[in-house]
Amino acid sequence: MGSDCGSNCSRSSSPDLVVDDHAGSFFSNKMFQSYCQENREDSEAGQDRTVDGQSQAGTDLSKIDTQDLRLKVNSRERKRMHDLNTAMDSLREVMPYAHGPSVRKLSKISTLMLARNYILMLSGSLDEMKKLVGDVYGGSAAAQSRTAAHPAITPAAPTAHHPLHHLAHSLHSLAASAPSALQHHSSHATALHSPPSAGFLGFHAPVQSLMKDPLHLAGCYRHFPGMPCPCSLCQPLPTSTLHSLSLSK
C-alpha cells in the first residue's frame, strides 16, 4: 500500500506525488487486488449464468456503488491526511530546527513536542521580558518623579548602568544560563540526521525546567562581549537564523 508512495515521496509526510484518487492508489492496493479477485470470480460465475441476469446486474450495480463510495471515502481520507501533513509541514517551517535537504525532517510527534516546548519557551521569554520592561518603566517613572520632586538630581547618564543595558545583560544572562541541548544534540554523530529524541524535546522534563529554556535555544550561541550576537534573543529573525546556524553546527 505504501508502495505507491515509497519510490516517489522520499518519505515525506506530505508526498509531492499527488495520487490519482481513482487510479493511483486503486491500482496499487489490496482493494484493487480484491477487485480483480472479485471480477475473476464474477466472470467465472458468469459463464454458468444463463438466467436471473437482472438481479445479478442489480448486485453488480450495488457492488460498483459500494466500491465507488469506498473510493470516495478513501480519497477524502487521503486528502484529509494530506492537509494534516501540509499543516504539519508549515509548523515545521517555523520551528527552530535545522531545515534542508541533508537534514532529516522532524517526525510528527517530534514536531508537536518541539512546538509545545517552543511555545512554552516563548511564553517564558515573554513573561521575563514583560517583567524587565516593567522594571525599566517603573524605575524610570520613579526616577522621573524623583527628578520632578528634586530638580537638582539629574537622571542617570546613558552608560553601562542604563536600564536598557541592564535589560540586554539580563537577556544574555538568561540566554547563557541553560546548557545547550542543541550542542548536546550535535555532540552525537548523527546530529543532523536524526531528529531529537523525546528526552531532548523535554517530553519527560518537568514544566518548570521547560519554562526556563525548554529547547535550550539561546544556549546554543556563545555570547562574546563586544561581538555581534546572532542569537534569537538579539536578532529579529529567530527562526531562520536558528535554522541556518543549527545547520552549520
Partner DNA sequence: TAGGCCATCTGGTCCT
Partner DNA sequence: AGGACCAGATGGCCTA
Q: 59-66 — which CB contacts under 8 Å span 24+ positions? A: 63/38
Q: Choose between 77 and 127: whose C-beta lies nearer to DNA.
A: 77
Applying CB under 7 A, the site for DNA has a residue count of 43
Contact status: 68 vs DNA (CB under 7 A):
no
Q: Report d(CA 40, CA 223) in Å as an integer.
A: 72
Percent helix, strand and coil across the chain, each rounded to 5?
A: 60, 0, 40
Which are the contacts of 203, defined by CB distance < 8 A and separation ≥ 6? 113
The least distance separating DNA from the CB of residue 102, rounded to whole angstroms, comes to 10
Instruction: Decide: is 72 part of the binding site for DNA (CB under 7 A).
Output: yes
8 A C-beta contact, residue 249 and residue 217: no
CB of 108 to DNA, least distance (A): 4
Q: Are 196 and 99 in contact (CB under 8 A)?
A: no
Phi, psi of 35 (to 5 degrees): -60, -45
Q: How far is CA 178 from the centre of its chain?
A: 23
127 touches DNA by CB under 7 A:
no
Distances (CA, A) of 61 to 22, 23, 67: 18, 20, 10
CB of 216 to DNA, least distance (A): 20
85 touches DNA by CB under 7 A: yes
Say whether residue 4 binds DNA (CB under 7 A). Answer: yes
Q: Give the nearer residue to DNA in terms of CB position, either 31 or 129.
A: 31
**Which triple of cell numbers denotes residue 173?**
544572562
How far, in Å, CA of 27 to CA of 21, rounded? Answer: 10
At its nearest, how many Å lie between DNA and the CB of residue 66?
9
Is 74 a binder of DNA (CB under 7 A)? yes
Q: Of these, 81, 119, 142, 237, which contacts DNA (CB under 7 A)? A: 81
- Kindly tell me which of 110 and 125 has the beta carbon lying closer to DNA: 110
Interface with DNA includes 63 (CB under 7 A)? no
Nearer to DNA by Cβ, of 153 and 198: the residue is 198
93 binds DNA (CB under 7 A): no
Binding-site ranges for DNA (CB under 7 A): 1-7, 9-15, 17, 19, 25-26, 29-31, 34, 70, 72-78, 80-82, 85, 104, 107-110, 190, 193-195
